[in-house]
Amino acid sequence: MDFSKIKLIILDNDGVLTDGKIIYDNNKLESKNFNAKDGLGIKLLQFSDIKLAIITGRISNVVEQRCDDLQIKLLFQGVRNKLKKTTELLKELNLDWENVAYMGDDWNDFPVMEKCNISATPADAFDDIKSRVDLVTKRNGGEGAVREFIELILKKQGKYEESLQKLLDHLKSH
């Protein structure tokens, strides 16, 4: 684990940015719960030089809306092979596996978690996943785990205070 080399954070969606619940109503409309604390952590990251991507196996208008709200440009939905998609993304961004920190919560994330520099999972992931990653957050998926992961990386790189000041200046001016 070398925090200094991280230039890209990749997140799974369900179980990481959300609590993992997928809710359908009688009209087959989907809803998900996102946490505003995670959202502010993502905004904080955007005031650094670290990129953020979301790679998810499902396709959801709700996720697209959340990414639009947070100005996340690297969203990949309907991805069955996350390892292949991550490899393509690294080539496109001219990065290596040592530049990646990945947070997922289940086996579909594991092939990427095995290859990246830093792997993490939320506190409520299954024990077998938690035993195979570098970091387990104190918080659950959809309850601030993403923010915790982002802040840790920024702090380890010595970028937290500068990013926070830029975020605060931005909030004051808008």
Residue ranges covered by each domain of the chain: 3-173
Is the per-residue pLDDT at 31 higher than 90? no
**Residue 146 neighbours by CB under 8 Å, 6+ apart:** 11, 16, 17, 35, 38, 41, 42, 103
Strands 135-136 and 118-121: parallel
Architecture of domain 3-173: 3-Layer(aba) Sandwich (3.40)
What does the alpha-carbon distance between residue 55 and residue 78 come to, in Å, rounded to a whole number?
8
pLDDT in tens, 97-141: 999 999 999 999 999 999 999 999 999 999 999 999 999 999 999
What does the alpha-carbon distance between residue 17 and residue 28 come to, in Å, rounded to a whole number?
22
Is the per-residue pLDDT at 21 higher than 90? no
Is the per-residue pLDDT at 29 higher than 90? no
**Which of the 8 DSSP states describes residue 32?**
-
Count of alpha carbons within 13 angstroms of residue 78, beta-carbon side: 4
pLDDT in tens, 37-64: 999 999 999 999 999 999 999 999 999 9
CB 165 within 8 A of CB 40: no
Is the per-residue pLDDT at 23 higher than 90? no
pLDDT in tens, 149-160: 999 999 999 999
- Mean pLDDT (the chain) is 95
- Helices 36-45 and 145-156 meet at what angle, rounded to 10? 30
Q: Which tokens is 117 given?
A: 């520099």
CB 156 within 8 A of CB 139: no
